[in-house]
Amino acid sequence: MSTKTALRAATAIALIAGGAAQAETITIATVNNGDMIRMQGYTDQFTAATGIEVEWVTLEENVLRQRVTTDITTKGGQFDIMTIGMYETPIWGANGWLVALDDMSAEYDVDDILPAMAGGLSHEGTLYAAPFYGESSMIMYRTDLMEKAGMDMPDSPTWEFIREAAAAMTDRDNEINGICLRGKAGWGEGGAFITAMSNSFGAQWFDMDWRATFDQEPWLNTLTFFKGMMDESGPAGYATNGFNENLSLFQQGKCGMWIDATVAASFVTNPNDSTVADSVGFALAPNTGLGKNSNWLWAWALAVPAGTQKEAEAKQFIEWATSKDYIELVAAAEGWANVPPGARTSLYENPEYQKVPFAQMTLDSILSADPTNSTVNESPYVGIQFAAIPEFAGIATEVSQEFSAAYAGQQTVEEALAKAQALTNDAMEAAGY
C-alpha cells in the first residue's frame, strides 16, 4: 500500500470515527413481544435516515414496568424513551413525568390515531404517549367445532350463549375444552380479564365515594358465572392459566373458544404455529344485555420521560416508529398481517389491510371500548380492565390472588369477595381516599 493510499484510508477512518463520536445515541426501554422485536430489526433504517443511534433495553413486561417506574420516579435518567401502557400514561402525565407530544409534525397526522387510543394515552386532552400498537379483546373460536355443535356464533353474543356453546363443544375424551380463559393471578393477567368481564355484568371496582363494591350482587354474579362455566367446560388447572397457556392450548386444538387479546388473532391464524389456523372465527367479547361488552382496551405506547437530554431525538424516533410510513415499511417487507395493529384509523381504511381476516373485528372491538365510560353505573375512575389510579396495580394483584384461589377451589367465591372487599377498602383508606 502506498503512503498516499494509507493516508487516505487513515483520513476516512478518522472521519467515520469522528462522525460516530458526534452521533447521538438514544436508549429505549421496551417490552419483549413480536411487534417490538420486529421494530428493533428496522432500527437501522431510522439510523441511516437520521444519524441517530438506538440502544435497546428489552425486558419482560412485569420487569419492564418495575424498571421504568423506578427510573422515572427517581429521575434516574436511564432511558430516553419508555414503552408504557394505558395504565401508566395518564398517571405519569398528570404527575409531570412525561414530555407532552403536542408538537408532532403535520406529516405525522396525530388526528389519525384511533380516538380510543389517543384518549387513553392522554391527560386533560394532551397526548403523552404515542401508540405503537393497540389491542382490545374478542372471542376467537373454532368454526369447525361450532358447526359440529350445531350452533352459530352471533357477532355480539351474550354470556349465556357462550356458556351454552362451551358446554356443547366440550369433548373431554378428545381433550377439547369448550372455553379457555385467564384465571392466573396478577392484575394484568386474570385480574384484567375478570375486571373487563365484570363491567358487562354491571359490576365496578369503586362507587363514587371510592368504596369497594365487591360486596354487591354484580360481582357475585360475575365470579359465580365465571367459575361455574370454567368448571363445566374449561381446561384443568385454569386457575393458573394466562395468555401463553391458553394460546398454547388453542393452537393445539384444545379449546373451542378463547376470549383474549386481539393481537392473539395473528398467532392462532398463523399456519406455522397453529394446528387450527384455517378454522378460526372471531366475534365481539360477550355481554349480558346491560349495554357493556366485556372487552378491554390496551396500547403499548412510546413516551419520553421529562428530563431527558435527548428530547428532540427521542421525539424523532417516536414519529418514525408510530408513523404511517413505518406501517407501510413492515407491510412491504412482511405482509399486512404483520403490521402493528390498533393504532391508526388509516390502517383500517386500507383495502389491503381489510383483507386480513381479523382486521374488522379488531377495529370493532377497539371502537366498542370506552375507558372513560366503562361501567354500567357511574364510576369515579378511567379505565376498563383497570382503574387509572396509582394504588390499583397493588390492590388488584392481591384481589386477583383471592379470585384465583376461589377458582382453584381453595376457598368459596363468597370468601374471596369478602377478602377482596376488606383488603381494597383498607388499602384505599390507607391511601387517603
Partner 1 sequence: MARSVTTRRKMINTALAWGIGLLIFFPILWTILTSFKTEAQAIANPPIFLNFDWTLENYAVVQERSDYMKFLWNSVIIAGGSTILGIIIAVPAAWSMAFVPSKATKDILLWMLSTKMLPAVGVLYPIYLLFVELGLLDSRAGLVIVMMLINLPIIVWMLYTYFKEIPGEILEAARMDGAELKEEILYVLTPMAVPGIASTILLNFILAWNEAFWTLNLTAVDAAPLTAFIASYSSPEGLFYAKLSAASTMAIAPILILGWFSQKQLVRGLTFGAVK
In this structure, what C-alpha cell is assigned to residue 236? 384443568
Q: Say if residues 55 and 27 touch (Cβ distance below 8 Å).
A: yes
Backbone angles phi, psi at 83, to 5 degrees: -90, 115
Question: Could you tell me the smallest distance in angstroms from the CB atom of residue 399 to partner 1?
Answer: 19
Residue closer to partner 1 by CB (options 11, 32) is 32
Strand 130-142 and strand 255-261: the pairing is antiparallel
Q: How far is the CB of 110 from partner 1 (least distance, A)?
A: 27
Residue whose CB is less far from partner 1, 247 or 361 = 247
Sort 380 into a burial class: Cβ within 10 Å, 0-12 / 13-18 / 19+: middle
Q: Which is nearer to partner 1, 242 or 286 (CB)?
A: 242
Q: Which is nearer to partner 1, 229 or 247 (CB)?
A: 247
Q: How far is the CB of 267 from partner 1 (least distance, A)?
A: 8
Q: Is the backbone of residue 141 left (phi > 0), alpha (psi -120 to 50) or beta?
A: beta
User: In the complex with partner 1, which residue's Cβ is closer, 80 or 416?
Assistant: 80
Q: Which is nearer to partner 1, 60 or 415 (CB)?
A: 60
Helix (H, G, I), strand (E, B) or coil at 254: coil
List of E strands, 60-121? 81-84
Contact predicate 39/334, CB 8 Å: no
Q: Shortest distance, CB of residue 119 to partner 1, whole angstroms?
A: 23
Report in angstroms how near the CB of residue 32 gets to partner 1 at its nearest: 4
Report d(CA 66, CA 375) in Å as an integer.
29
- Shortest spacing between CB 331 and partner 1, in angstroms: 20
**Nearest Cα residue to 361 out of 274, 299, 293, 277:** 293
Question: By the criterion CB under 8 A, which residues form the site for partner 1?
Answer: 27, 29, 31-34, 37, 40, 55, 57-63, 66-67, 70-71, 73-79, 188-189, 242-244, 247-248, 251-252, 254, 261, 263, 267, 272-273
